[in-house]
Copies of this chain bind each other. A is one copy, B any other.
Amino acid sequence: MKKKVSESVINRLPRYYRYLDELLKTGVDRISSKSLSEKMGLTASQVRQDFNCFGGFGQQGYGYKVESLKESIGKILGVDKQHSAILIGAGNIGRAFALNITFEKRGFHLVGIFDNDPEKIGQTVGDIVVTDFEEVERFIEENKPEMAIVAIPKAGVNQVVSRLKNAGIKAFLNFTHAEVEDAEDIVVENIHLGDSLMRLSYKMGEKI
């Protein structure tokens, strides 16, 4: 892992991981770059080159062992590790995400849910009780979660993120319309549903 891997490659890794998971479940235990590329709509060279960024996982004349390839990519992505997360905002999006199984499957574990709405405080989502957001610093100090999922109205985002950052949160999954910027000591993944809608809208205009 000497030279830096390009972002385009990283962005493709989760998709490889998903396909390999799928293959494993259907009982396929080996695959060539060619067949994988056909399934995924890529070229075989690209598949091989992508994998080679991290060192050769394949065997000449044989192909790739699905299980160990999936495991290797999982390791690169870090989904073999356990991360703990808190959810800020127990609204529709927040609740939907908290109840979604993918979350646990990708190595994340939800340990707390916070909101500032008195109506929501005290309710349970899954098996977690919604706590007053004012308690968040104390909770973080005690439980040291690594990550926060932010699913609140746009207006409060900056203040909330900055409080969480100060309290020691290093990673953010942002569902709000505001952009949370990558910075020195934190990592951010923004999920902008509105952007996806606009992209779809564009494609509709182009193709249909």
Q: What does DSSP make chain A's interface, helix, strand, loop or mixed?
A: helix
| Mask of A5-49 contacts with B, CB within 8 angstroms, 1/0 | 000001101110111000000000000000000000100000000
Copies in the complex: 2
Q: A206–B13 Cα gap in the complex (Å)?
A: 15
* Interface size, chain A (Cβ < 8 Å): 60
Q: A77–B204 Cα gap in the complex (Å)?
A: 9
A165 contacts the other chain (Cβ, under 8 Å)? no
Residues of B within 8 A of A102 (CB): 177, 193-194, 197
Q: A105–B177 Cα gap in the complex (Å)?
A: 12
Q: CB distance B100 to A204 under 8 Å?
A: no
Residues of B within 8 A of A92 (CB): 95-96, 99-100
Residues of B within 8 A of A198 (CB): 13-14, 17, 77-79, 106
Q: Residues of A at under 8 Å CB distance from B?
A: 10-11, 13-15, 17-19, 41, 76-79, 81, 83, 91-93, 95-97, 99-100, 102-103, 105-108, 146-147, 170-171, 173, 177, 179, 181-182, 185, 187-189, 191-208
